[in-house]
Amino acid sequence: MKILITGGCGFIGSNFIRYMLDKYHDYRIFNLDKLTYAGKGDNLKDKESNRRYKFIQGDICDAKIVDKIIPNCEIIVNFAAESHVDRSILYPDDFVRTNVFGTHVLLEAAKRHNVSRYIQIGTDEVYGSILSGSFTEKSQLSPNSPYSATKASADLLARSYFVTHNLPVIITRSSNNYGPYQYPEKAIPLFITNLLEGKKVPLYGDGLNVRDWLYVLDNCAAIDLVIHKGKIGEVYNIGGGSEVTNLRLTRLILKKMGKGKEFINYVTDRLGHDRRYSLNCDKIKKIGFRPRYDFNKALDFTVLWYENNKSWWKKLKK
């Protein structure tokens, strides 16, 4: 099996490449990544000597580069995306270009070269906020930030290629991921690294916004399952089953790192801040997915990783 991973030097993409190379010894992985601020070659330094892994620096918006790579691959998994909500509010153009136009370029190339599967990696944020109950794959898309709006657009574009061109598309939508190699602009790595530096952690608003947390290796296992057992044309929600308020999460991290509540800095709430995300994951459970990692223990693993890899994140925060 030959797989093209786009955005493979980012947080989830690099974890997925490592997961697939370790699990399948007869698979070849091609990694196309632009190496933006959040995509670092260092994330896969341990795989550089692996003959089954090849890195290509390039932009998914560049049709010429994409067309050179895709004929060698049977499956495309599109992780490439601008993903930070705060940045999307300040620089929406970058998000439209990569998340929408870049997806269009990949879909066109996938159609030309008859790939066997195209996996679009999405997010629960496309559904918007829900105060009670949980979103199913049939729920209306109501994105509330430029980030989630461009991801919803990418999902709909991918779906249209399935309906119009019979392209073998599958879409995944996961809840908030956490774990090693996550760029320290996202909540968990930002809080951990700030505390390691003796700094306070910025908590939006009243801190009662709710998120469902999914350890990145559980997401990798779920995507692997979707590649091999998912039904063409379908959407699969992937959740960790660990809903907590941002305030509760902050207190957990403080406790694990031996810090008190005086390290919380309450800041003005984010514009358009979604109150609660929650996914119904019955559909992916039917093909065999169950999260393996306990939230509390996996959070311990994550804290330990950042404690032991200061050289990785310190240069990113300068």
Catalytically annotated residues: 124-125, 147
Q: How far apart are CA 38 and CA 11, in angstroms?
A: 8
Asked whether the beta carbons of 23 and 15 are under 8 A apart, the reply is no
Q: Which residues have CB under 8 Å from 173's CB, separation 6+?
A: 122, 123, 124, 126, 127, 137, 155, 235, 236, 237, 238, 279
Asked whether the beta carbons of 172 and 119 are under 8 A apart, the reply is yes
Beta-carbon-side half-sphere exposure of residue 43 (alpha carbons within 13 Å): 29
Report which residue type is found at 86. Answer: D
Q: Provide the token pair at 136.
A: 């199913």
Helix (H, G, I), strand (E, B) or coil at 208: coil
